[in-house]
Amino acid sequence: MTNATENKKISLSNPKDMTLEDAQALAEKIAYLDAGLKKMKEHLKLYVELNGAVEAGDVVWDKFPSQSYKWATEAKRSFAEMIAIEGKNPWEYLSFTASDQKKLGWGENVISQYAEVRINHSFKSKKKD
């Protein structure tokens, strides 16, 4: 990013009134701020790792634990059987992740015969090809 991008003032006018140039300037500013925010978070994370939690206003920055499970193949089968023994349909509680489906190497034409295809649209930026 250039200093021009860093210092350019952005006014958030009505999106209907924005020009393409206004939108491009806004996109460049967002990319600049996102990069800076990422770097600041990396620095704060290192500080927290070295010194402990940081309280700032009404938030605490710290490394909070999260929990997940890694399932062995046979354990998945046993778990599904236990759900069935409880009188419930295991397939109402178990799902297939997109990454699991990709591992099969089957195309959308095969998977779509078994599952409803859903398309979600996320607003985000991507590098140009």
Instruction: Kindly report the backbone phi and psi dihedral angles of residue 63, in degrees, each rounded to the nearest multiple of 5, phi listed first.
Output: -95, 105
- Regarding pTM above 0.85, the answer is no
Helices assigned H by DSSP within 52-119: 73-85, 98-104, 108-111
In sequence order, the 6+-apart residues with CB closer than 8 A to the CB of 61 are: 44, 48, 53, 54, 55
Task: List the Cα angle 20/18/11 in 5-degree steps.
Answer: 115
Q: Which three-class secondary structure state does DSSP give residue 94?
A: coil
- What is the chain's pLDDT, residue by residue, as a tens digit (129 residues)? 555 555 667 777 788 888 899 899 999 999 999 999 999 999 999 999 999 999 999 999 999 999 999 999 999 999 999 999 999 999 999 988 888 888 999 998 999 999 998 899 988 888 888
29 close to 12: Cβ distance less than 8 angstroms: no
